[in-house]
Amino acid sequence: MKATHIGAIVVATGLLAGLAACSADGGGGASGTTLTIWDNGLLTKKSEDGAIADNSFLHQVAEEFEADHEGVTVEIVSTSGDIAADAAQFQAASIAGNGPDIRIAYTGGNTVDYSDFLLDLGDVFDAEIMDDLSGWNTVREGYEEDGALLALPYGGGSYFYVFYNKALAEEADLDLSTPPATWEELLDLGEDALGKTSAVPFWTPNQEGYVGAWVMAALVGGELGPQAFTEMYNGEIPLNDDAMVKAYDAYSQMFSRGLTNPDAGSVGNADLLTGFVQGNGVFMVSGAWENNALAEAMGEDAGVFPIPMLEGAEYPSTIAGGPNVAVSITNYSEEQELAEEFLQLLAQPATIDRYVELFQVEPSNSASADTSVITNYYLKTQAEYVAEAENVVYPFDNVMPQSVIDLFYKVNATVYTGQSTPEDAVEQLQAAFDSERG
């Protein structure tokens, strides 16, 4: 689900020491106390040069919290944004007992995998908040209803979509007034577009395998239902299930039928939106995180619809995605009470509304949200699709252990370009999962 580059799992000693030093202050809530938060960019905005923008949501909340807590400083440490490297940093610091008070990470496996270091928040939020917010299932240990509550899920989540260039679609004589009902229809539209424009039908930088992750989440969800991947995690469905093979085969047809850029396997995700905006493809598969940049670059000149399911899918009205952001408290923090108060402030519907208003990439996960704060053209359209969907499937790469997720991205890329078969890919994933479980 993540659109972040995966790099080598290397913890730079100097960086780790610097991060740990940020959380060395502590005073049990007394004057001079520092509350340290590690954020990988999920609740802060970064410019292209990596600097934090002036309108950072997390910094705004921190300032409000400091104003209400005399003598408290909220120290926000911006980590790399590289999923694997950030996870390795957090684990190493947590083993040493000198990590942050609050960790902001992805929901699912990126949180559940580190349950040994996270405080159970079961008693932190009152019944009103628990009833008002959705997404709690994505941050419970083992994804069980009674599992330890490891984080506050933040925001209604990002979902995966097919975006299209309206001018190129018109040039290719494609009628998208009604989105294609099935994956097969979508590929046929791509074939219809071949040679009619200077663009490829599907612009797909897929070196890292992210596009495959989004497509697989949708197609497998349509076959197996909204609990597909949590049931895999809990051993109720094998990772090498026939539905995984079927979905991989369907996804790879984009490449095998010549409907995408021939260099898809060597072009990185960083070029996905840029290439689409430049007119490299009629269609682009991505997620709601593109909303702001897309609106800035193209206004309303692109359209969007959810990734359609395979023909004959048992769950045809399914959309893939879900909560992205998890806010946790470390169980070794010396400022747990203060950290709990910070999370309680974050959990207020009005605070989440502010997050939605600033970011415009996902709706609120509060039932009492103010929907008027959604102003982005694409998010408005997407919110309607999410509301209409009968099922929401939480993706493979949110649910699974990190080592399995890393392999998933790799095989997504090789299956797409025909370097490995769907059958081999799922067997590799099953073996990795079995090894992780011991």
Please state the rounded mean pLDDT for residues 67-86.
Answer: 91
**pLDDT tens per residue across span 168-192:** 999 999 999 999 999 999 999 999 9
Q: How many CB atoms lie within 10 A of CB 310?
A: 20
Whole-number Å distance between alpha carbons of 272 and 409: 16
Residue 308 has what pLDDT?
Answer: 98
Dihedral Cα 387, 106, 374, 132, nearest 10 deg: 60
Residue 47, pLDDT > 70, answer no
Residues 6 or more apart from 63 whose CB is under 8 A from it? Answer: 74
Residue 158 has what pLDDT?
Answer: 87
SS3 state of residue 268: coil
Residue 54 has what pLDDT?
Answer: 60
Whole-number Å distance between alpha carbons of 157 and 129: 18
Residue 222 has what pLDDT?
Answer: 98
Residue 438 has what pLDDT?
Answer: 80
Residue 103, pLDDT > 90, answer yes
- SS3 annotation, 77-123: EECCCCHHHHHHHHHHHHHHCCCCCEEEEECCHHHHCCHHHECCCCC
Q: Specify the higher pLDDT residue, 361 or 351.
A: 351
> What spatial distance separates the first Cα and last Cα of the chain, rounded to whole Å?
26
SS3 state of residue 283: strand
Residue 50, pLDDT > 90, answer no
How does strand 302-306 pair with strand 158-165?
antiparallel
**pLDDT tens per residue across span 381-419:** 998 898 899 999 999 998 998 889 999 999 999 999 999
Residues 6 or more apart from 354 whose CB is under 8 A from it? Answer: 57, 60, 61, 373
**pLDDT tens per residue across span 109-133:** 899 999 999 999 999 999 999 999 9
- Beta-bridge partner residues of 304: 163
Type of residue numbered 90: F
Please state the rounded mean pLDDT for residues 234-246.
Answer: 97
Residue 361 has what pLDDT?
Answer: 83
Residue 336, pLDDT > 50, answer yes
Lowest mean pLDDT among 3-17, 314-328, 420-434: 3-17
Domains and CATH numbers, the chain: 13-157+323-369 (3.40.190.10), 159-321+394-437 (3.40.190.10)
Whole-number Å distance between alpha carbons of 266 and 167: 27
Residue 26 has what pLDDT?
Answer: 40
Q: Which of 274, 280, 238 is nearest to 404 (CA)?
A: 238
Residue 80 has what pLDDT?
Answer: 87
Q: Specify the higher pLDDT residue, 31 or 331.
A: 331
Q: Where are the beta strands (DSSP E) in 128-210?
A: 152-154, 158-165, 200-202
Please state the rounded mean pLDDT for residues 188-207.
Answer: 97
Total-model pTM = 0.81
Residue-wise burial string across 217-247, b where 16 or more C-beta atoms lie within 10 A, e elsewhere: bbbbbbbbbbbbbbbbbeeebebbbebbbbb
Whole-number Å distance between alpha carbons of 210 and 269: 7
How large a percentage of the chain has pLDDT more than 90?
79
Report yes or no: 372 and 294 within 8 Å, Cβ to Cβ.
no
Report yes or no: 433 and 401 within 8 Å, Cβ to Cβ.
yes
Q: Structure tokens of 102?
A: 């609050």
Residue 55, pLDDT > 80, answer no
Residue 3, pLDDT > 80, answer no
Whole-number Å distance between alpha carbons of 267 and 275: 10
Whole-number Å distance between alpha carbons of 431 and 426: 9
Report yes or no: 270 and 3 within 8 Å, Cβ to Cβ.
no
**pLDDT tens per residue across span 286-331:** 999 999 899 999 999 999 999 999 999 999 999 999 888 999 999 9
Report yes or no: 399 and 229 within 8 Å, Cβ to Cβ.
yes
Q: Which of 288, 290, 218 is nearest to 251 (CA)?
A: 218
